Every structure is written in C-alpha cells, then in structure tokens.
Chain A
Amino acid sequence: MTIIQNYLSGLRLASRSLKLTTMIYVLNLLFALALAIPFYGVITNAAHGSLQVNKLLTNFDFTAIQEFMDSAKGSISLLFKTGVWLAILYLLLNIFLAGGILKTLDNEAVFERKEFFANGSKFFFRFLRLTLYFIIIHVLVILIIYLPLLLIINILVKNAETEKALFYAVISGAGLHLIIFIYLQIVAHYTRFMIITEDSIQVLKKLRASVIFVSRKLLSTYPLYLLLLAGFVLLIFVFKFLSGAIGMTTGFTIFIMFLVQQLFIWSRIWLKIWIYGSQLEYYLYNKE
C-alpha cells in the first residue's frame, strides 16, 4: 500500500466521520463561547459608548485599539487567565475523546455514541500518561535545542561580523525544532494506535515500540504526515483568501465571515480525523 493509498483511505474514513467531526466541533464551539460571551460584555462596557471604537469596524486603527485596550485591560487579562484553565480542561476533554475517535476509526468509522464514550473513558488514563510523557519530551527538546542556540546567539552577538549569521542561527534552530516536533507528533500518534489496537496498558513500552516503528519506516511515516499537513496548509490559504475577499465591514459580511470561520474550524477537526485515519490505515497495514 503506497502512502497515497493510505492518504485516500484516511479520506474515506474521515468522510464517514461527519457526525463525529460535528460533535467535536460543537464541543469546541461551546468551550470558546464560554469565553467569547463574557468577552462581548467586556468590550461593550469598556467602550463606554465611545464613537472612537467605530473606527475599528472598517479598518485597523492603532490609537483606537490601544486606548480601548487600556480601558479594558483588567477584564481582558482576567478573561485570558480563565482561558488558560479552559484550555487545560479542553486538553483533558480531547484526551478523553481520543480513545473514542481512534476506536471508531479502527472500527471502520462506525460511530456509536455509547461505545464512543465507553472507549473514551477506557483509554483516558493511558492517553493522559502518554500526553504527560510527550509534554515532558517536548520540554526537553526545547531545552536541548534552545539552550545551545541561546549560547550560539550570545557568541554571535559578540563576534559575528553581520546580523545575517544571527538570522540563520535562529532559522536553523527553529527549523530543527519543527522537524523534531513533527517527528514526535508522528510517534505520539502511532503510540496511540498501538495502545488502541492492542488494548495495551503498557504506555512506555508502546512508546518505545512506536519510536522503533516510526524510525524504521521514516521514509513513509514522515512524508505521509507531511502530505496530510499540506491539506491543513491549503485550508489556511483558502481561508486567508476568503477572509481577504469578504472583509468584516458590515453586518452582512461579518455574518458571512462567521460562517466561513466556523467552516474552517469544522474542517480543521475533520482534517485531524483524516490524519488519524490515514496514519491508522498505514499502521494496520504495516505493523509486524
């Protein structure tokens, strides 16, 4: 099976998962609304009926933004603090959902609500452990890349003849991080597939097995993931084009953009399921 075939198999699974996608989308919307509704109250009050904020309807206005932020900063910073907790809660929710999503895909994307939630709770603590391991790994990677990079930058600031070297150092560091980040994402996904398909409770063992699996088949696993990410990049371009073309200057265009934005979020979630589907197909076909 070629990676193109895996790619298309994922699409097939994702296209059968519209209900699942919509459910996750609704949860995402509800979480975001929990912040957006108070935000609306905050900005309405902070404007104090001023006409200056109307400038922000048709254009960006630095002065209006700055002065508005001054009058709203207390409430907005409180909102953002709440947002952090909400994001952590959302992460936990996603850990819970992951079991259901992957098991559903493993069952050819047949979505049964009861079974979905049962699998969510069954795999929750295993995936929670796995997530914690990966957060630790990501932190270590950041330290391993950026501490030496800071040292290099410090040396370059003192010794480099031009700032070009600094630029290249930062770009190289960030590029290396991106490559490793993607690799770790792939490993994390395949670890979950192993836990799900083998119903394993040995998270660390599966993590090790996943590293071996992904590394041995790096020339397939990595390009497949990049191919899947290309869909996301394309989605961003389409969104940027539409938002540029539509604008948000009247009640009507604001409404249209709201629909476009929601479609973007829905598509993002759907793409994620596509990614899972393709990778899972690859794993099931290539596992030893």
Chain B
Amino acid sequence: MNCKKIITTAIFTCLFIWSVSFSVNSQALSSRIANYNMKVKLDPVEKIVDGTMTLEWRNPSQDTIRELRFHLYLNAFKNNRSTFWKESDGQLRGRSVDTKDPNVWGWIDILSLKTRGGDDLTNAIKFVQPDDDNTDDQTVAAVSLEKPVLPGETLTLDIEFRSKLPKIFARTGFSDNYFLVAQWFPKIGVYEPAGMRYAEKGQWNCHQYHAHSEFYANFGVYRVEITLPEEFVVGATGKQISEKTLDDGLKQLTFLAEDVVDFAWTASPRFIVVEDKWKDVDIKIYLQPEHEQFASRHTESLKAALAYFDAHVGPYPYSTISVIDPPFRGIGSSGMEYPTFITAGSFWGMPEELRFTEMVTIHEFGHNYFMGILATNEFEEAWMDEGMTTYFESRIMDHEYGEGTSFVGFKKFHFDDKEYQRLSYTRSAYPKIAESTRPAWKFEHGGYSTMSYQKPATMFTTLERLVGEETNEEIWKTYFEKWKFKHPCGKDFIDVVNEVVTKTHGTRFGESMDWFFDQTLYGSEVCDYKLLRIRNEKLTPPIGIDDSGDNKLIYKKTEYENIIYKSSVVIHRLGEVVMPQEVLIHFEGGEEITETWNGKSRTKEFSYEKPEKIIRAIIDPENKIMLDINLQNNSLAIKPQKTVFRKYMIKFLFLMQNILQDFAIFI
C-alpha cells in the first residue's frame, strides 16, 4: 500500500467514523430497531412532500420473517371510505372539513420499495386491514419479502414515497403556508416477538389509522434532510445539525433524532421562535406572531412539566423539546404529541385565568414520557398513554397553578384540573359505558375520552390517595426506570404497583392490588357509597313484666338517671365497585370516631350507646376515593346548616329581581 492510499484510507475511515457517530450514539438508550435516513422536499404550493428514505430494520425475534407491515397513515385522509373517516365522520375535535374542496384530501404513495439486495418489492405491496373488514382502508400495507429476514438480521430498504398533505382538520396537514407534517412517511410496524406484551407468538402489531389512536412504534434513529423554500421556519423532532442554502431560493435543513419512536416537523414563514433552556434541554417555542404574548405561558408551563417529571418520574433523556403554536385555521393540529415535538394551542385575547395553553402544553409534554419514552401501545391500551398523561397533567397543573384554581382561575368561578377530570367522568352521560382497557377504536358508541383520559386519571388519583404519596412516588419511578424504552403493557404496570405496594404496605391492601384494577380498569361499574341515615334514640328502661325475682313485677322506672342514646349510622353501597372506606362520626360533645370498613357489604351500620347524639358523619373524609361518582351523598348532618341555603336563596332572589327588571327594559 503506498502513502497516498494510506492517507486516503485514513481520511475515509475518519469520515466514516464521524458520520456513524451522528447516526449511532455511543450510548444508545433504546433497542433502535427501526432507523430512518430520509431526504425530503416540500412543495408548499402543491402541498406535497417527496421523499426518499433508507430504512434499516432489525428482526428483534427468533422468527424468520417473510412479510413486512407499514403504516401509511396519510391514506386515512384519502377519501371518506377510510376507517378513520368512517369513525370520525370527517369531524374531529370540533373541526370538520369541506369535502367539496379537492385540496382537503391527503394520501401517501410508495413509488418504489427495494431491498439493498436488489429485490424490487414495489409490486408486492398490498393493503391489509387488521382491525376491521374495511377493504377500502389503505393505512396499512403488507409487503411479502422475496428473501426472508432471519432472527437478529438487519434488512435495509430503499423507499421512494410521495405524500400529499391534507388540509388540516385533524392532527396533520396544511393550512395556507403552515405545515404540520406528522404521520407522513411509510413507517414500519412493530414486530412483537413471543413474550413481548401480550404476544404468545411472534406477530406484527401494525394497526390502521383510527379516529382516536395512532401511536405505537419501535425506537430508532431518524436522520432527516428537509429541503424547502428559504423563507420557511422549520421545527422538528430532535436536533437540527445542519443548514445549507441552495439555489432557486431553497434551503436544506438536517435533523437528527435518536431513540425516538416517530418523527414530525413543521414549517411556516410566519413562525416567531422563542428560545429558552431548562437544565441542558433546549426549549424552542414556534409561535404565531399574533400569539407572541403567549410565549411565557408556553415556556413557563413547559419548564414546570420538565421539572415535575424529572422529580417525580424520571429524567428527560433528550436534549431538545419544541412546542408548536398552530394558527387559528390550523387549530385542528393543536394538542398533539410527537417525540421532543408537541403542538399546543392558544387564542388571541385568551385571559390568563383560562389556562388552556398551559394545560395542553403540560399534557402534550407528558406524552413524551408515556407514548414517547415508555412507548406503550396507544391503539390497544390508550389508558396507559392518555390516562397516565392526564393524571400527571392534573398533578402538575394543581401543583403549579394551585388547587381549586389551576384550570380556570377567575375569582368567582374557578376549578382545578383534577376536579375537572373527575367531574368529566362522574358526570358523563353514561359512566358505565365501557371498560378503560378496550382498544381505542372499539368505543363504537362513545366514551373513548371518558374511559381513556378522565376515568383512568381519576383512578390514579384514587390509587395515590389509597396507598399514600410516598408509595405512589415509588410506583411511578420504578415503573419508569424498569420499563423506559421497552414498550410495557398494562400488566407490566400493575405488576410494578403490586410489587411496590406489597413491599411498602405488606398485605394491608390484600395479596395484591389486582382487586383495585379489576374493578376500576378492567371493569365498567361505578363506585358510589351513600350515607343513608343517622339515628339517635334515647335508651329507656324496659316496660312490662319483670319476672327475674320470685314475683312477677311491673317495671317501674320510666327513665334512666343518665341519658343514654342508642345511635347509629347506616351506609349503603349503591355502586358495584368495592373500596375500603373510612367513616368519620361526630358526636354532640365534640367526640370523633373514625371507623374503617372493607366496603364490601351492601349496607353497613355503625352503632353506639353514648350519652351524646351523633350529629354528623362523613364517608371517606379525606376524599381518597375520587372515583366515587357522587361525593354529595357521602355525608349527612342531622341538623344541616341553614346559612348556606339562606345565602343562595338571597342570591337567587336578587338574580330574579334583576331579571324581572331587565325584562321590563322594554317599558
């Protein structure tokens, strides 16, 4: 080998190591099964993204795989025959589309699909529908391989695709020159080896795009090169590693995201970018100019979420987080979550007391832990993503903005996030509509939001209050540490709960907490305990014949010297859900007794013989059982305080007087 060759080899080796170091972190956090290297170009006039990508996919199982599955999510927007369209009826989050507008539709085509080995699989692509019988749905593609992928083997595919973005009404697409490009490329499904989650044998887990769910993917490294007109401001999953100005007024930006399950990006010439930092995490807020005054509302709530998750769940493992503020007509893309990239939402003139922006920012950031890092299957177990995220959203909101006022904080009208979540469940049209563990697309008759967000969030609050804050803290930290980047299922979470609760409390709550989850998660019944009555009867001596002696005598005493009351409290269990209960009983003289009860029987009576009457009693005085659908019937007083009723009667009287005078304005 001559000197020139040695130098050339050395340079290329260095270059190779340098380039590899970009795509493969020396300390991988995840299994990195699916790795994408993409080059895409946005045509902002035609609303089309043309792309080429190299997908490196590793067979994680011991199986020989002969078929691949891909998500082609944008086909959900292709026509009104897709499963997504049928489920949503072209309306989602209060937004609908004008179907006469030809621009509303979106689609994705795989133009070419080849293996590095030279097999052209383009013609082997066929659409399958694993979730329903809707043969018109084209959101999942199956590709038969000419050469199977052996256990542990890595397959490299070169794919050309074209994505037409839909006009935004739900999650993804465009609105004028604002682009929220999500679920936009052919994404390989998850091959679950036997033993992973609920898989008894190796299987593809690749669901169709549904109105209510879209997330479940393997971890990987995404290197994405985006070309677009230079006036566009771009934000994306991961970190921007380069920017190049090209001819014809174009520019090329490259983003790198490691150990993530998805890649989304946004572009708009109108964005104002506000940068901030929390510890080592770079924060970028992409704001609409008319929402500039919302910058601090985004950054402060995001920092609160970062700090809270760091302290109570686990460290945020990425170095960036971007928040996108969609424009008014792109509001259908608000409130979405992608790894290190979330969309929030704000409205010009929205008062500070209405903390919608904060709530959405915190909520969507929370998804980065459950959908993003733990990477649960949102299709099949939405409660593990939406429910857990909502629970932490409530905790953070109440911690940051105050209990009783965190969500809406006007002086005379206020409520917090936790009570909003609870009331959304307890006051829903039919709180027994379904169990929370149902797959997201199987809430055919409603109840998805209630059963995936609000009921599980309320269930976690109940669990927290039952087992105590410390134990609860350990549950979440253990769960995160044990399962991060590993796609846990519901059973894995419950196993952690059982392990931690048993370790901390022994058998105080039984052999395990299965009884709790069986009722509240896998069951659809409700919890409702009612304090039915309080009774106080003066004890009197017996009357009639006393034959205790030799003679039959008539009882003479009509009253005891010391008055004794036989008092009782009767409780009814109206719901089917059984919860351990505490009952606080107040006596006239100030004495208080706290009774405990396993809550199992349909009725329960607590009786006493005391010189004082019972004046009031409360079931669950510390409000631990937040799942109880009616807290009003949890307490009873024998002489209710009248002042509050007088107050509201007077308020009502005043209201009526004013309404009558208002009515007389025409005179």
Residues of A that sit less than 8 Å from B by CB: 28-29, 31-33, 35-36, 39-40, 43-44, 47-54, 56-57, 59-64, 66-68, 70-71, 83, 86-88, 90-91, 94-95, 97-98, 127, 131, 134-135, 138, 157-158, 160-164, 166-167, 185, 188, 248, 250-251, 254, 257-258, 261, 264-265, 268-269
Closest CB of chain B to A80's CB: distance in Å? 10
- Given A57-B647, A167-B349, A254-B647, decide whether A50 and B660 contact each other with a Cβ distance below 8 A: no
Chain B residues 645-667 with CB under 8 Å of chain A are: 645-654, 656-661, 663-667
Would you call the interface of chain B mostly helix, strand, loop, or mixed? helix
Closest CB of chain A to B643's CB: distance in Å? 5
**Can you report 21 residue pairs joining A to B where beta carbons are below 8 Å apart?**
A32-B656, A35-B652, A36-B652, A36-B656, A40-B649, A50-B636, A53-B640, A57-B643, A60-B413, A60-B414, A63-B419, A63-B422, A63-B423, A87-B659, A91-B663, A91-B664, A127-B667, A160-B328, A164-B348, A254-B650, A261-B654
Q: Which residues of A contact B634 (CB under 8 A)?
A: 50, 52
Cβ-neighbour of B658 out of A131, A162, A164, A265 (below 8 A): A265
The complex places the Cα of A24 from the Cα of B659 at a distance, in Å, of 15
A33 touches B653 (CB 8 A): yes
- Given A43-B648, A162-B348, decide whether A50 and B635 contact each other with a Cβ distance below 8 A: yes
Q: Mark B313-343, 1 if CB is under 8 A from A, else 0.
A: 0000000000000011100000000000000
B632 touches A248 (CB 8 A): no
The complex places the Cα of A251 from the Cα of B643 at a distance, in Å, of 6
Cβ-neighbour of A91 out of B647, B657, B667 (below 8 A): B667
A47 touches B657 (CB 8 A): no
Cβ-neighbour of A261 out of B349, B412, B423, B650 (below 8 A): B650
Cβ-neighbour of A49 out of B414, B630, B637, B661 (below 8 A): B637
- Given A94-B667, A254-B643, decide whether A162 and B636 contact each other with a Cβ distance below 8 A: no
Q: Which residues of B contact A50 (CB under 8 A)?
A: 632-637, 640
Q: Which residues of A contact B120 (CB under 8 A)?
A: none
B648 touches A268 (CB 8 A): no
The complex places the Cα of A36 from the Cα of B616 at a distance, in Å, of 28
B347 contacts partner chain A, Cβ-Cβ < 8 Å: yes
A91 touches B415 (CB 8 A): no
The complex places the Cα of A57 from the Cα of B646 at a distance, in Å, of 10
B641 contacts partner chain A, Cβ-Cβ < 8 Å: yes
The complex places the Cα of A61 from the Cα of B413 at a distance, in Å, of 8
- Given A50-B633, A50-B635, decide whether A57 and B667 contact each other with a Cβ distance below 8 A: no
A248 touches B663 (CB 8 A): no
Q: Which residues of B contact A43 (CB under 8 A)?
A: 645, 648-649
Q: Which residues of B contact A261 (CB under 8 A)?
A: 650, 653-654, 657
Residue of A nearest to B644 (CB): A57
Would you call the interface of chain A mostly helix, strand, loop, or mixed? helix
Residues of B that sit less than 8 Å from A by CB: 98, 176, 288, 290, 327-329, 347-349, 404, 412-415, 419-420, 422-423, 427, 616, 618, 630-638, 640-654, 656-661, 663-667
B641 touches A268 (CB 8 A): no
Residue of B nearest to A132 (CB): B666
A161 touches B176 (CB 8 A): yes
Residue of A nearest to B426 (CB): A67
Residue of A nearest to B289 (CB): A162
B648 touches A56 (CB 8 A): yes
Residue of B nearest to A48 (CB): B633
Residue among A32, A70, A98 with the highest chain B CB neighbour number at 10 A: A32
Residue among B404, B632, B654 with the highest chain A CB neighbour number at 10 A: B632
The complex places the Cα of A71 from the Cα of B426 at a distance, in Å, of 13
Closest CB of chain A to B276's CB: distance in Å? 24
B657 touches A53 (CB 8 A): no
Cβ-neighbour of B631 out of A52, A88, A160, A188 (below 8 A): A52
A62 touches B419 (CB 8 A): yes
Q: Which residues of A contact B645 (CB under 8 A)?
A: 40, 43-44, 47, 53
